[in-house]
Chains A and B, each alone.
Chain A
Amino acid sequence: MTRINENETNSAGTIGDQAAEWLLRQEAPEWLEKDQAALEVWLNESPQHLAAYWRLEAGWARTERLVALKPGRTQRDQTSSRKISWPVLRFVAAASIVIAVTFGGWYSWSTREVEYATTIGQRARILLADGSRIQLNTNSAISVSFGIWQRTVSLKKGEAFFDVQHDAARPFSVLAAGHRITDLGTKFAVRTSNDRLEVTLVEGSARLETVSPLVQHHATDLVPGEVAVATPSTIAVTKLPMHSLANALAWRQGQLVFNHTTLSDAAAEFNRYNSTKLVIEPGIADLTVSGVFDAGSVGIFTNMAKFAFKLRVEKQGHDVLMSR
């Protein structure tokens, strides 16, 4: 056992404060890679730091669910009840919001496209000029195009979480897999893979509709807790219980949550985040696993599965083959 240094002058209070400080800074949009490196250094200085930070981080993550308590925004109701609004007034109102949020706001008046992308295993937080926030999951790409009258984000691949500053005069829409999602004051996640689109609504409401002129027009309004799965020709909506919703969004903390998930589905999830790919032998694909994993820690997952199911785990080039 490592002895704790008796001369340790840091009390739990001050280390706790430091951990809280790190955590708050990390949530801010100004957080950069060099800050992350500084945090790692601080964490590795002492198990005292790890203890305080891990505990606070895990506890604070639980409070993410509190957003569900948020009442409907009255601001939105005021804006939508004002049926006719003079363009200049809208311009002024929107301008004041942008300036309050960021000094870089002027750029948003001319429509220009800005692209953001993550590689496998990366995640990114983006603060837009209007105060809206986007979190990009692994291997994802978006392009953002803000004009005076509308804000458009195209999800080119992967998955993203949107926390939109609603502005009825300047609608926010996300284009993905042949569909448009229009914000009506919302937090939602969008994921694409091939032609399949999945929209998870956390808060507020949003409209999902097809945009391709080649298919029949479909549209549906989503309410919190609903997940819409859309293909080029269909939209299916199901309601998720709160805990499943939290699990589905665990990637925002770099976690994968499995609840009786088949081994093949779990492997597919891990493979989104890692360049080492898991390959599951067909005979064991239907075994189910439950647990919370760091998306980057494939080894922990394979070890667990190895012991739980007595599997063989072999490395073959860039692949890891799991078999009985």
Chain B
Amino acid sequence: MVPAPAVKLWFVREVLPLEAALMRYLRSSYRNAGEAADLRQDIYAEVIASAQKQIPNTAKPFVFAIAHHIMVDRMRRERVVPMDTIADVEKLGLASESPPPDRIVIARDELRHLRAAIEQLPPRCREIVVMARIEGLPGREIATRLNLTDATVSYHLKKGMQLLVDILYGSAPHSEVPE
């Protein structure tokens, strides 16, 4: 059993940066954004379960092999999409190993990227995330200022948090390539 911090570190540094590519791959067969997010969650769970036994040498082929496997499995069960619509993993040229990008070097325009991500949130969500994250206000104070209940603030904050993370990892529906 690999210790949890090692799995976590590997997951955050090696797997999460692949998310935009993974979502493009999933959407090539699954058009529905909700289903793609659902699949992503299952794939990550399986990736983690496997890494708990042994962390693979290279993350990318490993993650995509699991993605392929889970997608085939699900389609077989649902009998909705013909098998040949699944993009061939080999054709994606994943086998060629390029050195992983240096995660220490945070892009100089990360802040601009973050700002753009915030802009994409729905108005109420954005307002509350800005108050919580940029102004650092506690939830109760936000509720008082906006005349909302604590539960409403918490709802928007949770939604905003997830949307923001989706956008940052390139998983958000907006990044879906239109046909």
Within 8 A of B (CB), among A1-39: 1-2, 4, 6, 11-13, 15-17, 20-21, 23-24, 28-29
A2-B133 in contact given A12-B37, A59-B168 (Cβ < 8 Å):
no
Instruction: Please tell me if the beta carbons of B111 and A65 are within 8 angstroms of each other in the complex.
Output: yes
A47 CB contact (under 8 Å) in B52, B144, B168? B52
Q: Which residues of B contact A15 (CB under 8 A)?
A: 41
Q: Are B9 and A293 in contact (CB under 8 A)?
A: yes
Check if B139 sits within 8 Å of A47, measured CB to CB.
no
Which residues 104-128 of B have a CB within 8 angstroms of A?
104-106, 108, 110-111, 114-115, 118
Q: Is the CB of B52 within 8 A of A63?
A: no
Contact A52 B134, CB 8 Å, known A2-B50, A68-B111: no
Stretch touching chain A among B81-89, B91-99, B153-161: B153-161
Tell me whether B154 and A24 are in contact (CB under 8 A). Answer: yes
Question: B9 touching A51 by the CB < 8 A rule?
Answer: no
Smallest CB gap from A203: residue in B: B136
**With A21-B158, A51-B48, A56-B165: A297-B133 Cβ-Cβ less than 8 Å:** no
Whole-angstrom CA separation of A258 from B66 in the bound complex: 32
Do B48 and A67 touch (CB < 8 A)?
no
Within 8 A of B (CB), among A199-217: none
Chain B hits for A257, CB < 8 A: 104
Q: A67-B136, A243-B105 are in contact. Are A12 and B41 (CB under 8 A)?
A: yes
* Majority SS at the chain B contact face: helix
Tell me whether B168 and A242 are in contact (CB under 8 A).
no
8 A Cβ contacts from B136-170 to A:
136, 138-139, 141, 144, 154, 157-159, 161-162, 164-165, 168-169
**Contact present for B105 and A63 (CB under 8 Å):** no
Range of interface residues on chain B? 35 or more
Q: Is the CB of A2 within 8 A of B46?
A: yes
Within the complex, what minimum Cβ distance (angstroms) separates B34 from chain A?
8
Do B9 and A17 touch (CB < 8 A)? no
A54 at the interface (CB under 8 A from B): yes
Residue of A2, A48, A54, A70 touching B8 (CB-CB under 8 A): A54
Return chain B residues, CB-CB under 8 Å to A300.
5-6, 9
B48/A69 in contact, CB under 8 A: no
List residues of chain A with CB within 8 A of the CB of B102. Answer: 290
Tell me how far the C-beta of A203 lies from the nearest C-beta in chain B, rounded to whole angstroms: 9
Minimum CB–CB distance for B178 against chain A, Å: 23
Residues of A within 8 A of B104 (CB): 247, 257-259, 290-292
Query: Closest chain A residue to B66 by CB distance?
Result: A1
| Closest A-B pairs by Cβ, 9 of them | A59-B165, A12-B41, A51-B44, A20-B158, A2-B49, A243-B106, A47-B45, A47-B48, A47-B49
Which A residues fall within an 8 A CB radius of B?
1-2, 4, 6, 11-13, 15-17, 20-21, 23-24, 28-29, 46-48, 50-52, 54-56, 58-60, 62-70, 100-101, 131, 163, 242-243, 246-247, 257-259, 290-294, 296-297, 299-300
Query: Apart from A291-B103, A292-B104, what 7 extra A-B contacts exist at CB < 8 Å?
Result: A4-B49, A12-B38, A51-B47, A54-B48, A56-B161, A66-B111, A294-B9
